[in-house]
Amino acid sequence: MRAKHDDVPYNPRGAYNAPEHPRRLVQMAAGENESESYSAIILVIVLIGVAAYILLYGLQTLIYFDVRHWGSANPWLYETPRTLAITAPPAAPTTHLEFYNYECEAPWKGPAKVNESPDYIDARFPSGPTVRVELPEEQADSLQSFKGETPDQQQHIVNVFGTHPFDSNFDLFAATYSASPAQVSPFTPRIDAERVNTLLIWKLTLDTELPGGTFEFEAGKLRGLQFGDPDKSATVVLRAFNEHDRQFKILLTRTTAGSKLTQGDINQLIASLKPIPLPGQ
């Protein structure tokens, strides 16, 4: 029987294990170090990739998730204006209306019951809706507000939109309502994402969308937006701007079950809206 040597590992089954060869141990250690080196390199590459993504697309990604959240809570943010062709011929009968140095032919039989207040004029028709025209001079100068009240706000708008972003309130309204969360992705150029983000914030603070969507129109020297479809909404709102950016906010409301309001009626009112001629003209 062989004697057990103190320097040789003992196997419980009765055999003695030979010690690992030194070269084998060195190879195993080298393999482990090489694996750790590869892992460290991969980690560095991943960290560099994440840092590059954040640098190039981090802001756009945050904006993307923000505007998608807004769109989920307010689906109408995805609505953008559709073109409204003002081609309807004059309707009969019509009722002549005058307000704030302007006039139009309302496509309903009169006489209209007119109520004047300091801030608006109401005209209620027996067979048609109530037409309310708000005082143009009381309409907010949205373009001035958009430019910001504090130096920081003003500088932000300059950085995003330039020194002269819009020529008129109508241009601001048209751009605002043309913005949609669908226009932003994580890979949208940063300046474009910031523009859409700013316009969507404004879109949330302006007129709430009415059933049927938004329409953009042009008639003579008037440009404007229509909110709501008369087939789907009891109220339709017009914002009409003349060549001097004077703004008319007109609300047309079906006040009784028998009241009728069609798109042709609205087109007629828009087409006939014009300044009252001065004496001698």
**Residue 50 resides in a domain:** no
Extract the runs of DSSP E, i.e. beta strands, from 130-201: 130-134
Strand 82-84 relative to strand 95-99: parallel, antiparallel, unpaired?
unpaired
Distance, in Å, from the CA atom of 188 to the CA atom of 201, rounded to the nearest integer, reads 18
**The predicted structure's pLDDT at residue 260:** 81
| Rounded-to-5 percentages of helix, strand, coil across the chain | 40, 20, 40
Give the H/E segment covering residue 98: strand 95-99
**Residue 73 resides in a domain:** yes
CB 209 within 8 A of CB 76: yes
- The tens digit of pLDDT for each residue in 124-140 reads 998 778 999 999 999 98
Domain count, the chain: 1
**Residue 46 resides in a domain:** no
pTM value is 0.78
**Residue 49 resides in a domain:** no
Q: How far is CA 94 from the centre of its chain?
A: 38
Q: Which domain holds residue 277?
A: 59-281
Give the number of other Cβ atoms within 10 Å of residue 178's Cβ.
16
Q: Which tokens hold the place of 258?
A: 């028998």
Average pLDDT across the chain, whole number: 84
**Residue 225 resides in a domain:** yes
**Residue 28 resides in a domain:** no
**Residue 3 resides in a domain:** no
Q: pLDDT under 50 in the chain at which residues?
A: 1-5, 8, 14-15, 25, 281
**The predicted structure's pLDDT at residue 94:** 86
**Residue 97 resides in a domain:** yes
**The predicted structure's pLDDT at residue 281:** 45
Name 234's bridge partners.
Answer: none
